[in-house]
Amino acid sequence: MTMLSSNTRTKALHWLGKQLSNQNNPASWLDPLLSEINPMLVQAYTPARVQQVIRETEDTKTFVLKPAGRWQGFEAGQHVNICTDVEGVRRTRTFSLSSSPRLWKAQGEITLTIKRLPGGLVTNWMHDHLETGDVIGLGEAFGDFLIPEPARPVLYIAGGSGITPVLSQLETMAARDYNAPVTLLYFVRTENDVIAGEKLRALAARYPALTLTIIATHETPDPRFLTGSDLDGIPGLKGRQVYLCGPKGLMDLANNLLSERGIREDQIHSTFFAPPAPARLEGDTGGNVTFTNSDVQVSSEGDANLLEIAEAAGLTPQYGCRMGICHQCSCRKTSGTVINRLTGEVSGPGEENVQLCISVPQGPVSVDV
């Protein structure tokens, strides 16, 4: 048996020590080795293998994934963070699950239906490079865009790729025989842009509670957008739970029309496919920010959020959606005041959890990053 040289043993011990000291998850210290042997054994995240890639439209694909068995599943309408290496850099993005939880329970598979975004780094890479047999990383599901319990009448207003969480919910409702009226108004630019059209029409055919209307906005010289007449034709509108998912313009228009018809804010549920409009911030913003775990202190001005400030200082805190949805960037604020970029609410001055991506400092702030 050949003995390792003293130099080789020293290098091996150095590598091992470095791996152990640099891992937040002690179980993941062998990941560099495991990723070469079998990427489905990696521990830092849940690996998911691509089983199939389905072209939905010219710019939209559905990726059928089979996560490792330790993944905990999801509820219809929830999101998931995926991570993958793009040009040697690990990237994380948030997507809605488009399949029913029944598929996961029966076959151990899930689907992500993803539209190519102009200039989008990760979506374009997935469309151009992700193939059957490849492995990406998967976080646990999250989000409160959930089916009403107990069953209540529902109105969905979706646009473009905003149909993805709605698909998950409609399939779940049909399987449960959800016994309340369900209406879907689905807006697309043209008939060629309908995502999962066959699946939607099959659902409407076998699920009598579902009323499906697909509206192409740009098939005629004059664009056809959501109108008050669309809403006024829905039976029992004021008693509906309303779910909005799609481009900001459609969601803003829908909110205005619903408000005019007396629909309360607590009846409306939204999930965003673009950052929601920021609130108007009152008072001075900016200040000295201390990242206590990294022993870094920087000065900020204007309305930059804590995530942007940390990245400008060369730090790499964890994040996901960068929109205040996924809470992956949450950390402990130990002192100081921050303003929520979405709501305009001002925090207390003491310890509390904050989301880096939507928290703007107002004076000196210390956070555990």
159-171 residue pLDDT tens? 999 999 999 999 9
- DSSP conformational letter for 185: E
Within 10 angstroms of residue 154's Cβ, the number of other Cβ atoms is: 24
365: CB partners within 8 A, 6+ apart:
287, 288, 289, 290, 306, 333, 335, 336, 337, 338
* Highest mean pLDDT of the ranges 37-46, 210-219, 307-316: 210-219
Q: What is the pLDDT of residue 181?
A: 98
DSSP result, 43-63:
SSSEEEEEEEEEEEETTEEEE
**pLDDT score recorded for residue 93:** 86
Of the two residues 93 and 225, the one the predictor is more confident about is 225
**CATH no. for 19-138:** 2.40.30.10
| Residue 51 pLDDT > 50 | yes
Q: Which residue has the tokens 């062998």?
A: 30
Classified by CATH at the fold level, domain 286-367 comes out as Ubiquitin-like (UB roll) (3.10.20)
State residue 119's pLDDT score.
85
Q: Domain ranges in the chain?
A: 19-138, 154-272, 286-367
* 248 or 323, higher pLDDT: 248
The pTM of the whole model exceeds 0.95: no
Is the pLDDT assigned to residue 364 strictly greater than 60?
yes
Mean pLDDT of 39-60: 84
Pick one of 3.40.50.80, 3.60.150.10, 3.30.1490.20, 3.40.50.300 as the CATH number of 154-272: 3.40.50.80
- Please give the share of the chain, as a percent, with pLDDT higher than 90: 62
pLDDT at 15: 47
**How many Å apart are CA 271 and CA 144, to the nearest integer?**
9
Does 29 score more than 70 pLDDT? no
Greater model confidence, 37 or 359: 359
Express each pLDDT in 68-84 by its tens digit.
988 999 999 999 989 89
**Region 9-23: what's the mean pLDDT?**
50
Task: Determine the average pLDDT of the residues in 108-130.
Answer: 94
- Residue 1 pLDDT grade (very low, low, confident, very high; cuts 50, 70, 90): very low
